[in-house]
Structure 1
Amino acid sequence: MKKQSLVKGAFVLTVAAFITKILVFINSIVLSRVLGAEGIGLQKMVMPFMGLMMTLTTIGLPVAISRLVAEADAQRDGVKVKKILIISLAITVSLSILVVCITVLGGKTFSRYFLIDSRSYYSFMAMIPIIPLGAVSGVLKGYFRGRQTMNPIAIAQVIEQIVRVSFTFGLVQWLIPLGIEYAAAGAVISSVLGEGCSLLIFIVLFRISHHRKFRVTHPRWNQIIRGKDVLMELLQTGLPTTGNGFVMSFSRALQPVVITKSLALAGVSSALITRQYGMLTGFVMPLLFLPAFINQSLGVTLVPAISEANAQNNLRLVNRRLNQALGAALIVGAPSTILLYLYAQELMTVVYHASAAAPLLKLIAPFFLLNYLQTPLQSVLVGIGQAKTAMFNNLIAKCTAVALIYPLASNPMLGINGVILAISIGVILETALHYASVVKFIHFELEISTLIKILGAAMAMGCLGRMLFTGLNNLSSKLGVTTIMLIGIMFSIFVYVWLLGMLKLIRQNNIIKIPLIGKILASLFPK
């Protein structure tokens, strides 16, 4: 498979991430209709632990693999690439076996003492097979990223979600007569099946790309010992990344425990806690993360690009690429945030039939705008070799957020709103710390004028779109809320894109680089 440029690689991953987000969103709608808030809560209580288990088994190796494979590939050192894969597979397979054994033996104890609802045990056990599958997939993802070949990753992501969505409805419907806890476990099993298909795609594409010239078989610990230099290089990059991932995964895993205990102290019943947590994590969060697909693409492509510029000691290029990444993230994030805030009531009613979740979305959406800036800032820190700094920044922010959940959520006046405030404070703190660190290490200068133009265009878009929505809603009741909402959103997007062109934030030379459709779209924008 051919090596792809930064623009093409980012475009491929962006398209795949967009499709994936749509499929995830569809899946969340299906689950909300079949399981309800209570079933969603049972599933979401254990999902954060999946990320924690994956962090423990991969120990940051996917990022380290992509960096080392890129260097070895540039030096045409195929032997080193093979060593990297063998050692990485040996580590991840061994760790996944260990983690699976511990999880199986301690599943009942964990669900009984750490999760307030014992019914989550079935979902917790259903997630176990994903640990070894995801570990091996992570190694192959790192390899393809290092070779700057993003097509396999994009294909696997889409196939994984298609399989997941396809099996979710059938498994949940089949198991729901047995009880809501079994149906929630069925939703988790669909994720396992999707991950299994993703791994199969990676293996097939890896074999196709190398035919019989490149075989990685029977990874063993003695091979790790013989490749000490490669092992140390992997760990130097992987361990700080692991610390960062562990902080994030552990905080996500700890949040449901702290949230449920805090809400219980506020006098909220167990069933209501599960429903409120289900609304926040199953309804609000999927809507917030739906337009955040740009972050995933930027995070994957920006690290090697920054590493290359940093290796050349070209801080000017690092600054330029970071400003480009922040601009791209904000171009998507600003209008998304405004639309989610303005149409919170309509979206929650139409999509989930849960109007009670609308205030939660309106409260968290403005703070979540900063989340779009976190990925580019963190990617730069990793790219310039400051993964430890990123880890400590995340540690401080996540610990602060978790620590604030207890006093805020246990307050009967705040309840679930206290959880949102604590999470939002964590987002603000993490973004501020990343920004301060980037300024310190590369003397970063933010292009304030560009950010002001993007925010101004987004606010103008929101005002005009909402005015049209209100006018149509008052004039005619025949169209229905859903149709009027879609008209308002589409009009808002059209106005926003037009304003970006008029402000010269999007130019022909930016658009023409997009594969396949770039030349066609470029004619619509100024030079």
Structure 2
Amino acid sequence: MKNRRFIYGSFIMIFMNIFTRFFGFTYEILLSKILGAEAMGVFQMATSLLMFFLVFTISGVPTSVTKFVAQEVSLNNKYNVEKIFKTSLTFNFFMSIFLSFILFSFSEFIAIQVFKDKSMMIAVYLLIPPLIIISCSNIIRSYFYGRKNMVTPSVSQTIEHFSRFIIVIGLFFILRPIDPFYGTLIAILGISIGEFFDILWSIFSKKRLYNYEIAKPDNAWNSFKTLSKLLTFSVPLTVSGIFSVSLNFLNSILIPSRLIYAGYTSSMAMASFGRITGMVMPLIHLPFVVTSALVVSLIPSLSEQIMKGQYEDIKKDISLSIKATLLISIPLTICLIIFHKALALNLYGDILVGSYIKILALGTPLIALQHLFLGVLTGINKQTSSTINRMIGMSIRVFLIYVLVGNPKYQINGFFISFFISNLFILLFDIISLKQAFKFKMDYLDLIGKPILASLFMAMYIKITTGNLENLSLISFPALLFIILISLLSYIFILILTNAIPKDLFKRIFLFKNR
């Protein structure tokens, strides 16, 4: 019965991720159309600023909570489980208050130096509520993950996206036409709206499911020991997060400025940045629907297996996760390349986005595997290695952006080059770190060869059935979705013929054998 509940919970999590991603993706598309490329670029800069401050509270501590809660649950130390929750929640709350004070104090400086507009101080103020709410909601969510309760946080995230979608898009509809400046402020306010409903559900669920008094045992952790364990484990992840977000935030400033240096106007530079971050990246990150579910399941599962010395099981689960990631990301890459014009016109009404999609689609498997390996390395206590890998990769990206994007010969192509080179380095370093930890061989024909073969068959099927691929840019969105669906069925057909999908694939993904 316990195994069945876990299978059911994991299935619900993946399903809810797809449902949530649908709302999130639709919201991003509508937001792009309403705001336009330039205002979308400003909104992305605001979210980058928020992430810069959030990284101190959500990059390491929540993952530590998931890991230690899973360990203490496996040892049936209920008191320690609740101690971890209360200590981490208190720490994140006061840390977020401190960060909010800094954000408020430097609001004028940030508005002038980052947004180049003093009136954007209002936008900076609107980032304070989500800074506090997200810092706390991530702790609650991680607590549920540690208990292997995947359903509750999945529902809370669905509520977050649904409420934000309804309220923000509703406001845009009521207030239309709306000035891009006020539209950007509403979009930033929408972050708080969604997160507010998220944390309400999470708090209610925590009290309903795990609200009980526990006698203090002899081996109980005190607050100091609990915080010490959490921070010791989270420091490498936090350092990695700070470094990564800082460089991403630097990129959000560097890319437009270097494009201007290379000959773009200010409006053209911001529009190009908005197209990449607000329109193309949501498509490139679609595999995260699956990999995020795998990562959340892997971290507590691998933590338990490490404690029990089940190394062969660890190798099998890691291999399975890699296979599932590639089975999703490789055909998505082919679809994005083939349908790049149709997607750009149907989703955004912007043909320039199509050329960006066609190029960046090749990076989809890279970033999907990176996301997976980050969770794997964390689960096997190699978070320091993953931190170093990402610091090196992101440093390379910033250097190449500065050198290439500002060169009139490359301009925006300089970003594409830096994107691929930095991601390749990170992935290569992650693979080396993983192989150093566990000496296992990967079946490259099964992991990579079969998905590529099936994807090529899918591409041929699309070519044969549509004739001229250029005509795809003229079809309606419902017709586009139908063609993509039929194409994916042809992909799955070849996977079945080549035995690329084992009979127990989904059972093993959901269950991870629940050891």
TM-score under structure 1 normalisation? 0.90
Q: Give 1:490's aligned residue.
A: 485
Q: Give 2:36's aligned residue.
A: 36
Please give the alpha-carbon distance, in whole angstroms, between the structure 2 residues aligned to 1:339 and 1:59.
32
Residue 513 and residue 405 in structure 1: after superposition, are their counterparts in 2 closer, same or farther (change >3 A)? closer
Q: Give 1:321's aligned residue.
A: 317
Q: Give 1:219's aligned residue.
A: none
Residue 179 and residue 214 in structure 1: after superposition, are their counterparts in 2 closer, same or farther (change >3 A)? farther
Please give the alpha-carbon distance, in whole angstroms, between the structure 2 residues aligned to 1:296 and 1:230.
27
Please give the alpha-carbon distance, in whole angstroms, between the structure 2 residues aligned to 1:100 and 1:473.
51
Q: Can you list the C-alpha shifts for 1:168-211, whole angstroms capped at 9, x where unaligned?
A: 22334566767322210101111111001000000010111134
Please give the alpha-carbon distance, in whole angstroms, between the structure 2 residues aligned to 1:514 and 1:268.
48
Residue 400 and residue 484 in structure 1: after superposition, are their counterparts in 2 closer, same or farther (change >3 A)? same
Asked if 1:380 corresponds to 2:376, the answer is yes
Q: Give 1:469's aligned residue.
A: 466
The alpha-carbon deviation at position 509 of structure 1 amounts to 2.7
Please give the alpha-carbon distance, in whole angstroms, between the structure 2 residues aligned to 1:423 and 1:365.
11
Please give the alpha-carbon distance, in whole angstroms, between the structure 2 residues aligned to 1:102 and 1:175.
33
Q: Give 2:14's aligned residue.
A: 14
Q: After the TM superposition, which residues 296-375 of structure 1 pair with which residues of structure 2 at under 5 Å, given as runs?
A: 296-375=292-371
Asked if 1:509 corresponds to 2:476, the answer is no
Q: Which amino acid aligns with 1:422?
A: S
Q: Which amino acid aligns with 2:30?
A: V
Please give the alpha-carbon distance, in whole angstroms, between the structure 1 residues aligned to 2:478 and 2:94.
53
The alpha-carbon deviation at position 400 of structure 1 amounts to 0.9
Please give the alpha-carbon distance, in whole angstroms, between the structure 2 residues aligned to 1:303 and 1:424.
27
The alpha-carbon deviation at position 77 of structure 1 amounts to 1.6
Please give the alpha-carbon distance, in whole angstroms, between the structure 2 residues aligned to 1:448 and 1:211.
48
The alpha-carbon deviation at position 154 of structure 1 amounts to 0.7
Q: Which amino acid aligns with 2:262?
A: A
- SS of the aligned residue for 2:110 comes to helix
Please give the alpha-carbon distance, in whole angstroms, between the structure 1 residues aligned to 2:197 and 2:373.
33
Q: Can you list the C-alpha shifts for 1:365-393, whole angstroms capped at 9, x where unaligned?
A: 11232112112222221111111111110
Please give the alpha-carbon distance, in whole angstroms, between the structure 2 residues aligned to 1:145 and 1:353.
39
Q: After the TM superposition, which residues 442-457 of structure 1 pair with which residues of structure 2 at under 5 Å, given as runs?
A: 442-450=438-446, 451-457=448-454
Please give the alpha-carbon distance, in whole angstroms, between the structure 2 residues aligned to 1:164 and 1:72.
35
Q: Can you list the C-alpha shifts for 1:482-515, whole angstroms capped at 9, x where unaligned?
A: 4553343122111011111111122433346798
The alpha-carbon deviation at position 119 of structure 1 amounts to 5.9
Q: Can you list the C-alpha shifts for 1:193-247, whole angstroms capped at 9, x where unaligned?
A: 10010000000101111345479xxxxxxxx995222122111211122122222
Q: Which amino acid aligns with 1:398?
A: M
Q: Can you list the C-alpha shifts for 1:13-50, whole angstroms capped at 9, x where unaligned?
A: 22121111111111012112211112211101111122
Residue 119 and residue 435 in structure 1: after superposition, are their counterparts in 2 closer, same or farther (change >3 A)? farther
Q: Contact 2:71 / 2:300 at 8 angstroms: preserved in 1?
A: no
Please give the alpha-carbon distance, in whole angstroms, between the structure 1 residues aligned to 2:500 and 2:120.
48
Deviates more, 1:333-342 or 1:402-411: 402-411
Please give the alpha-carbon distance, in whole angstroms, between the structure 1 residues aligned to 2:60 and 2:140.
13
Residue 228 and residue 2 in structure 1: after superposition, are their counterparts in 2 closer, same or farther (change >3 A)? farther
The alpha-carbon deviation at position 98 of structure 1 amounts to 0.5
1:394 maps to which of 390, 397, 405: 390
Please give the alpha-carbon distance, in whole angstroms, between the structure 1 residues aligned to 2:165 and 2:333.
26
The alpha-carbon deviation at position 87 of structure 1 amounts to 1.2
Q: Give 1:188's aligned residue.
A: 188
1:288 maps to which of 276, 280, 284: 284
- Computed over aligned residues only, the root mean square deviation of the Cα atoms, in angstroms, reads 2.6
The alpha-carbon deviation at position 111 of structure 1 amounts to 2.6
- SS of the aligned residue for 2:188 comes to helix
Asked if 1:243 corresponds to 2:239, the answer is yes
Please give the alpha-carbon distance, in whole angstroms, between the structure 2 residues aligned to 1:332 and 1:121.
42
Q: Give 1:143's aligned residue.
A: 143
Please give the alpha-carbon distance, in whole angstroms, between the structure 2 residues aligned to 1:473 and 1:156.
42
- SS of the aligned residue for 2:442 comes to coil
Q: Give 1:254's aligned residue.
A: 250
Please give the alpha-carbon distance, in whole angstroms, between the structure 1 residues aligned to 2:33 and 2:156.
27
- SS of the aligned residue for 1:506 comes to coil
Please give the alpha-carbon distance, in whole angstroms, between the structure 2 residues aligned to 1:441 and 1:404.
31
Q: Which amino acid aligns with 2:450?
A: K
Q: Contact 2:7 / 2:507 at 8 angstroms: preserved in 1?
A: no
The alpha-carbon deviation at position 76 of structure 1 amounts to 1.9
Q: Can you list the C-alpha shifts for 1:240-283, whole angstroms capped at 9, x where unaligned?
A: 22122222222221111111211111121111111111111111
Please give the alpha-carbon distance, in whole angstroms, between the structure 2 residues aligned to 1:514 and 1:364.
28
Q: Contact 1:34 / 1:173 at 8 angstroms: preserved in 2?
A: no
Q: Give 1:102's aligned residue.
A: 102
Asked if 1:179 corresponds to 2:176, the answer is no
Please give the alpha-carbon distance, in whole angstroms, between the structure 1 residues aligned to 2:415 and 2:197.
36
Please give the alpha-carbon distance, in whole angstroms, between the structure 2 residues aligned to 1:121 and 1:350.
35
Please give the alpha-carbon distance, in whole angstroms, between the structure 2 residues aligned to 1:263 and 1:208.
53
Please give the alpha-carbon distance, in whole angstroms, between the structure 1 residues aligned to 2:440 and 2:114.
43
Q: After the TM superposition, which residues 126-137 of structure 1 pair with which residues of structure 2 at under 5 Å, given as runs?
A: 126-137=126-137
The alpha-carbon deviation at position 130 of structure 1 amounts to 0.3
Structure 2 segments unaligned to the other structure (5+ residues):
511-515
Residue 499 and residue 129 in structure 1: after superposition, are their counterparts in 2 closer, same or farther (change >3 A)? same
Residue 178 and residue 324 in structure 1: after superposition, are their counterparts in 2 closer, same or farther (change >3 A)? closer
Q: After the TM superposition, which residues 189-228 of structure 1 pair with which residues of structure 2 at under 5 Å, given as runs?
A: 189-211=189-211, 213=213, 226-228=222-224
Q: Contact 1:340 / 1:362 at 8 angstroms: preserved in 2?
A: yes
Residue 192 and residue 419 in structure 1: after superposition, are their counterparts in 2 closer, same or farther (change >3 A)? same
| Count of residue pairs brought into register by the alignment | 505
Please give the alpha-carbon distance, in whole angstroms, between the structure 2 residues aligned to 1:58 and 1:511.
30
Please give the alpha-carbon distance, in whole angstroms, between the structure 1 residues aligned to 2:97 and 2:506.
47
Please give the alpha-carbon distance, in whole angstroms, between the structure 2 residues aligned to 1:490 and 1:405.
37
- SS of the aligned residue for 1:290 comes to coil
- SS of the aligned residue for 1:436 comes to helix
Identity of aligned residues (%): 25
Residue 102 and residue 348 in structure 1: after superposition, are their counterparts in 2 closer, same or farther (change >3 A)? same
Q: Contact 1:23 / 1:162 at 8 angstroms: preserved in 2?
A: yes
Residue 107 and residue 172 in structure 1: after superposition, are their counterparts in 2 closer, same or farther (change >3 A)? farther
Residue 115 and residue 406 in structure 1: after superposition, are their counterparts in 2 closer, same or farther (change >3 A)? farther
Q: Which amino acid aligns with 1:171?
A: L
- SS of the aligned residue for 2:409 comes to coil
Q: Give 1:45's aligned residue.
A: 45
Q: Can you list the C-alpha shifts for 1:67-93, whole angstroms capped at 9, x where unaligned?
A: 111122222222212211221122111
Residue 304 and residue 225 in structure 1: after superposition, are their counterparts in 2 closer, same or farther (change >3 A)? closer
Q: Contact 1:394 / 1:430 at 8 angstroms: preserved in 2?
A: yes
